[in-house]
Chains A and B, each alone.
Chain A
Amino acid sequence: MSEQDKKVDLTKYPEGLKELAARLRLPIPEEETEKREAMVMGLIASLVRQ
């Protein structure tokens, strides 16, 4: 785990989700926080369903 990853527990909700949404390369502008979080949550829900 990198030093940056240690700052926030990525597996905790909602802080991990917010961190991922802020740091992932997504096709959504950085300022559109809610949309970015929704995209990451969409992936999580899909990963859980699969």
Chain B
Amino acid sequence: MTNQELKSYRTQLIRDASMMQKKPDRIPHVSFFVTWKILDAGYKLSEAMNDYSIMEKVVRRHQEKYGFDAIFEYGGRNAIRIPQAMGGSTYQVNDEAGTINYKDTAICEADELDELIADPMKFFYEKGMAKKYPCWADKTVTVEDVQRAIDEQSEFIKYHMNITRIMQEEYGMPAFTAPNGFTYPGLDFLFNSIRGIKGLSIDMRKQPEKVEEAIRALNKLYFDPGLETLKNAQEGPDMNYCFDYDITLLCHTILNVKQFERFLWPDLKAVLDTLAEKKKTVRLFMEGSSKRFWDYLKDYPKGIITIHPEQDDVFEIRKALPNCAIMGGMPVNLLGQGTKKQCLDRAKLLCDELGKDGGFILCQDKMVSFKNDANPENVKAVCDFVREYRV
């Protein structure tokens, strides 16, 4: 196969599995390896994350060694050079331990929510930046400081476009998600960057109306325009991509069903309903456990949602949500701590049980980050097995 043919073949494998209309030729296998691939290539995290030419070598090697059908991440997840250019220290890379620590800074206090609600842009510009960047807080920032960040952002975009092209043209890798807008639910925004886990948990109990107001204000920035873009998108799947849409949810991990229904579901439903109307597919990655929310997904048409669970049992999902394709199933702790035989047995079980009628994409259950998360021999064995195995 030429690289172009290989790209089409791999895209089709994932499309067949996710759309659930046809059993794919074989089970597709997706890489959810993130910083692990840097360490696997023998580099320090800081070396690759600060030098895009090294990151390119890392990504090339990952595919050359393992031969996945798609790679979720091409080295852009922790774009540390952009905040570093402004003196930010959100990411702390520890090369000895092979870890990245993310400093979880809540940029808004409970008594500042009204200010955030009144004008989120002004709040980010004045208060958010001051909380994260010392030069903003002490007002010593110069145009040159911001220019460095702009230049780094351009370098990052250039790297990303280049590596995507390289992987498509030289390795036959498919494009993962079609550009159909970015709907970032206000609650996830509050959770991830603005109030943090503790602050948001308290707010939802003590001042739930304020949380709703904040969600509405934040949604005007990303969610509403993103949803509008999606609503204006052409109907039907874009078969040049593995998926039409991608949603990663984190904030649901602290929600009970009542809170989910009140604060998150209205936004999530708006996106999922639009995708269903447009007959477009979505990979829905839900960190932690999402079991208590599965009922909300059960009435969507078959082949719209591909659920990628982090902690939930994939066999249980198949029974509870026969309308959803499944991505995942390979536990990172097995890849890291198990024997080669255990990993291969698990891969075979997943292919036989979940893949026998289609609707299954093999993938790791978590973003693979640390060196001990996976034994390279286990990863290679599973990749080789899945490529040859026919259900």
Contact = CB atoms under 8 A, between A and B. Distances in A.
Interface of A: 1-2, 4-5, 9-14, 16-17, 19-20, 23-27, 39-41, 43-50
Given A14-B125, A44-B129, A50-B132, 11 more contacts: A13-B122, A16-B125, A20-B143, A20-B146, A23-B143, A25-B147, A40-B146, A43-B146, A44-B128, A45-B124, A50-B91
B146 A11 contact: no
B193 A49 contact: yes
A44 B142 contact: no
B137 to A, nearest CB: 8
Interface string B180-224: 000000000100110000000000000000000000000001000
Interface in B113-166: 121-122, 124-126, 128-130, 132-133, 136, 139-143, 146-147, 149-150, 153-154
Nearest to B135: A11
B140 A1 contact: yes
A49 B192 contact: yes
A9 B139 CA distance: 8
Nearest to A49: B193
B83 A26 contact: no
B82 interface: yes
Given A10-B141, A11-B141, A47 B122 contact: no
A50 B88 contact: yes
A50 B90 contact: yes
Nearest to A16: B125
Contacts of B125: 11, 13-14, 16-17, 41, 44
Interface of B: 79, 82-83, 86, 88, 90-91, 107, 121-122, 124-126, 128-130, 132-133, 136, 139-143, 146-147, 149-150, 153-154, 189, 192-193, 221
Given A20-B143, A23-B143, A44-B124, A50 B150 contact: no
Contact of A47 (B82, B91, B121): B82
30 contacts: A4-B143, A5-B142, A5-B143, A10-B139, A10-B142, A11-B130, A13-B122, A13-B125, A16-B125, A20-B143, A20-B146, A24-B143, A25-B150, A27-B154, A39-B150, A41-B121, A43-B146, A44-B128, A44-B129, A45-B121, A45-B124, A47-B82, A47-B83, A47-B88, A47-B129, A47-B132, A47-B149, A48-B128, A49-B193, A50-B91
Binding site of B, secondary structure by majority: helix, strand, loop or mixed? Answer: helix
Q: Which of the listed residues A9, A45, A48 has the most CB atoms from chain B within 10 Å of its own CB?
A: A48
A16 B127 CA distance: 13
Binding site of A, secondary structure by majority: helix, strand, loop or mixed? Answer: helix
Contacts of B107: 48
Nearest to B142: A5
Contacts of B132: 47-48, 50
Contacts of A48: 107, 124, 128-129, 132, 193
B83 A50 contact: yes
Contacts of B193: 48-49
Contacts of A10: 139, 141-143, 146
A20 B129 CA distance: 14
Contacts of B150: 24-26, 39-40, 43
Given A13-B121, A16-B125, A47 B86 contact: yes
B168 to A, nearest CB: 24
A46 B82 contact: yes
Contacts of B88: 47, 50
Contacts of B146: 10, 20, 24, 40, 43
A19 B147 CA distance: 12
